[in-house]
Structure 1
């Protein structure tokens, strides 16, 4: 769950049966979520939404299936993964679960890149210690900042994100945003020391970013879901 919408998937014996998205207030997406199964055994949630959004979802689930959802929360430690924050609750649970999902796939040094509304980059050592991370405005936020705070940066063209110098205002903005996103990840990798971390990408812009960066890495669209499943199993669910 994000602040405005959510992604969901239905599992049966570990296999994904169906999936979808849910937007609070949208009847069609709500009905698709609640109609995905006649009964479910458990509902697990990763949420960075405000309390009101969580309460609304909880009420829907309780009314439809007669059970209360379990909400994952960032902790000081989950298995071998150790949080670097003094107050672990201050870290968004989506970042924590993405690292947990990546850690379940590899015990090498990791760099986890989640390219969504925000671009987050987190490093994890081979022994599971979170080395720290970065939170950067995502593509849409960067572009919106330019459009909101400048009078003459305006365009109607729909151009792709690329790294070549722009030859119009639209290209200059989109290519500049792409350069900032790619440059951020490249700088983290270049300054990460002699042991290059294994790269994992997730988020809506993850594949585009991975391709533009050109340094390999694995695209795992369901990385947060995978971490959610790991954490739920650790909790005995």
Structure 2
């Protein structure tokens, strides 16, 4: 039996899953500020053989997480870092370490699924859009505030944009402040991806979505593609197995 705990740590919370010989036994969410989610993670298994982590959190947060995991299971976690290349996927950054490892792992997962040119759209706290050539060269990407960040900016920096209504994201013109904000954010997110795809008209890429808002964005964009909710975990497995 080989048990592997995998974590995808964002800026505010983390997703985790526990695998035995490649099969997912359990999964959940963890926040350092939430004792219940911490307990659920630490009680997910009595023992573990390996711990793999994708993290975009700061150094102090990583150190606290490492200490907690080591104390609980006596296993030193392996933290994935962004390299210049993994397999035939090649980074475009002059300093590869400055690219968020979640972006790199999502691209690794997408590359493994699609051997042709591909556009990876990760819709989370930030909306990231990355293009990979058919030969595996990262062509560059975009980082845009995600829906929650856009909404927070409006609420923080304007006095009269206030609402309590629960409104879904949609592309129709809004007939209330709540609709105008949420629909405007949807237009901004969809428009960003559309502009990138329109610029690829001579060589249209395959389209892969991930992230908490990825499925909604895919539906609003209405250009097909696949939604792979655990794409970062797929990339984490590929990188952990790489020579």
Q: TM-score range by the shorter chain?
A: over 0.9
Shift of 1:122: 0.1
The answer for the alignment partner of 1:120 in structure 2 is 128
Residue in structure 2 matched with residue 218 of structure 1 by the alignment: 226
The Cα shift of 1:25 comes to: 2.9
**Runs of 5+ consecutive residues of structure 2 not aligned to the other structure:** 1-8
Q: What pairs with 1:74-85 in structure 2 (closer than 5 Å)? A: 74-85=82-93
Which residue of structure 1 aligns with residue 5 of structure 2? none
Q: 1:202 aligns with which of 197, 204, 210?
A: 210
| Range moving further from structure 2, 188-197 or 219-228 | 188-197
Match of 1:147 among 151, 155, 164: 155
Match of 2:42 among 16, 28, 34: 34
Give the secondary-structure state (helix, strand or coil) at the position aligned to 1:46: strand
Q: Deviations over 1:70-111 (max 9, x none)?
A: 000000000010000000001000000000000011111000
Q: Residues of 2 paired with 1:101 and 1:16: CA distance?
A: 17
Give aligned pairs, total.
Answer: 235
Q: How does the TM-score come out when normalised to structure 1? A: 0.98
Looking at structure 2, the residues matched to 222 and 60 of structure 1 have their Cα atoms a distance apart, in angstroms, of: 24
**RMSD (Å) for aligned C-alpha atoms:** 0.8
Gaps of 5+ in 1: none
Moved beyond 2 Å, runs of 4+: none
Instruction: Please give the residue correspondences for 1:1-237 in structure 2 after superposition, counting only pairs within 5 Å.
Output: 1-235=9-243
Q: Hey, what's the Cα distance between the residues in 2 that align with 1:28 and 1:143?
A: 28
Question: Partners of 2:159 and 2:26 in 1: how far apart?
Answer: 45
CA distance in 2, matches of 1:39, 1:153: 50
Name the SS of the counterpart of 1:176 in structure 2. Answer: helix
CA deviations on 1:100-134 (whole Å, 9 max, x unpaired) are 00001111100000000000000000000000000
Contact 1:3 1:53 in 2 (8 A): no
Deviates more, 1:219-228 or 1:185-194: 185-194
Deviations 1:24-66 (A, max 9, x none): 0322111111111111110000000011111111111111111
Residue of structure 1 in register with 2:3 after alignment: none
